[in-house]
């Protein structure tokens, strides 16, 4: 008997897998990369968790599918920000379900807990997720299974319902006790979380889709730098540090020109290709303002396809109106 687990890397999903592994069932941990979570940042952590409980790891890159099928038209709407959690969970189960055949697995599990999250982990929302998934009766939530209707794996006796749990609500006391009992180490991952739940990042997405169509390559550019929308609509992204600069430099998006001051040091920037002359000149001045530059001097900025002169603004305060903020 095998099971496919939706595996975020968080403690709840690790414990859910452990409860099933302990019933002698092989678990394939599927981590789904939507582009907005922390798959890449936490890869070592994710591997380590799987090793500790003896699950095989599979990472699915579903960034394109997530943009095409979920992010902009969720059947059950959004949470507080741009997070379409109910549809997202349904989507994850739907794609994880496609692996049932590949692994000759019989059912799916996740670490969801009733009442833990306001949008997607209410009991009714969890039932909606099942409907969206196409695998309604094959989904088990081991941490709160006793509070849910019986699933097929329980009815059929593939797993013992008595060994599943009835955890409910937001406190994590029982999860922490369980982690201690099984001797799980380093289970609290550094940082992480889904950017779609963050107000400022959600605002960047809203602004982006007001001005164009989002593709996979745009996801990374949204994650790095300061984002400005200039008066005629061109987007300017300014790296804040070396990490941002590296991320922006690595973009494969064809929507942007890479820009940098020629005769002084300054941040790495991306600037939208089809900008008006007015926005181009403003962008040059802004880029010079964020460089190590002097107020009364003229600098050249290289925009790959053209070079423009720019001059530092007296203060950065007057640029605030261009910032895309939450
Ligand atoms: S927070 Fe919501 S949108 Fe983000 S990964 Fe989780 S379920 Fe999906």
pLDDT in tens, 165-218: 999 998 989 999 999 999 999 987 655 589 999 999 999 999 999 999 999 999
Predicted TM-score (pTM) of this structure = 0.91
Extended beta strands in 35-111, E state: 56-61, 107-109
What pLDDT, on a 0 to 100 scale, did the predictor assign at position 191? Answer: 54
What pLDDT, on a 0 to 100 scale, did the predictor assign at position 117? Answer: 80
Which residues of the chain are modeled with pLDDT < 50?
A: 326
For ligand 1, atom 5, the nearest C-alpha belongs to 194
Q: In angstroms, what CA-CA distances link 198 with 80, 188, 217, 260? A: 9, 20, 20, 29
Please, what is the angle between helix 216-223 and helix 199-211, to 10°?
130
Closest atom of ligand 1 to 120 CA is: 7
Q: Is 163 helix (H, G, I), strand (E, B) or coil?
A: helix
Q: How far is the CA of 246 from the centre of ligand 1 (A)?
A: 26
Domains, the chain, with CATH or none? 2-181 (3.40.50.620), 198-322 (no CATH)
What pLDDT, on a 0 to 100 scale, did the predictor assign at position 326? Answer: 45
Distance between CA atoms of residues 112 and 110, nearest Å: 6
- Name the residue of 9, 33, 37, 112 to mutate for ligand 1: max ligand atoms within 8 A of Cβ: 37
Closest atom of ligand 1 to 85 CA is: 2
Q: How far is the CA of 8 from the centre of ligand 1 (A)?
A: 10
What pLDDT, on a 0 to 100 scale, did the predictor assign at position 313? Answer: 97
- Name the residue of 70, 196, 202, 205 to mutate for ligand 1: max ligand atoms within 8 A of Cβ: 196
Q: How far is the CA of 122 from the centre of ligand 1 (A)?
A: 14
Distance between CA atoms of residues 305 and 79, nearest Å: 42
Distance between CA atoms of residues 179 and 111, nearest Å: 13
Q: How far is the CA of 194 from the centre of ligand 1 (A)?
A: 6
For ligand 1, atom 7, the nearest C-alpha belongs to 85
Task: Provide the token pair at 262.
Answer: 């020629």
Task: Provide the token pair at 240.
Answer: 């804040």
Distance between CA atoms of residues 283 and 279, nearest Å: 6
Q: In angstroms, what CA-CA distances link 170 with 115, 156, 167? A: 6, 31, 9
| Run of H or E residues at 3 | strand 2-6
- List ligand 1's pocket residues with C-beta within 6 A: 34, 37, 83-85, 88-89, 120, 194, 196-197
């Amino acid at each position: 008997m095998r099971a496919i687990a939706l595996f975020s890397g968080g403690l709840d999903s690790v414990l859910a897998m452990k409860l099933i592994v302990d019933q002698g069932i092989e678990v394939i941990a599927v981590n789904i990369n939507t582009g907005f979570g922390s798959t890449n940042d936490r890869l070592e952590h994710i591997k380590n968790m799987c090793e500790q409980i003896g699950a095989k790891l599979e990472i699915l890159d579903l960034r394109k599918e997530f943009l095409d099928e979920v992010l902009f038209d969720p059947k059950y709407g959004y949470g507080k920000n741009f997070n379409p959690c109910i549809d997202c969970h349904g989507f994850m189960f739907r794609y994880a379900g496609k692996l049932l055949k590949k692994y000759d697995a019989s059912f799916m599990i996740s670490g969801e807990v009733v009442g833990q999250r306001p949008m997607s982990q209410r009991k009714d929302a969890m039932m909606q997720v099942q409907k969206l998934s196409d695998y309604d009766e094959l989904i088990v939530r081991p941490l709160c299974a006793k509070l849910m209707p019986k699933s097929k794996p329980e009815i059929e006796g593939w797993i013992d319902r008595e060994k599943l749990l009835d955890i409910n609500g937001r406190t994590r006391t029982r999860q922490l006790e369980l982690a201690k009992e099984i001797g799980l180490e380093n289970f609290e991952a550094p940082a992480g979380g889904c950017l779609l739940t963050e107000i400022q990042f959600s605002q960047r997405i809203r602004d982006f889709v007001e001005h164009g169509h989002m593709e996979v390559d745009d996801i990374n550019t949204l994650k790095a730098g300061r984002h400005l929308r200039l008066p005629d609509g061109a987007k300017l992204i300014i790296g804040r540090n070396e990490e941002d600069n590296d991320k922006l430099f690595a973009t494969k998006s064809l929507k942007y020109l890479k820009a940098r001051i020629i005769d002084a040091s300054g941040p790495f920037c991306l600037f939208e290709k089809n900008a008006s002359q007015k926005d181009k000149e403003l962008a040059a001045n802004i880029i010079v303002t964020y460089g190590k530059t002097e107020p009364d001097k003229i600098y050249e900025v290289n925009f790959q396809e053209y070079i423009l002169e720019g001059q530092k603004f007296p203060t950065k305060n007057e640029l605030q109106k261009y910032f895309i903020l939450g």
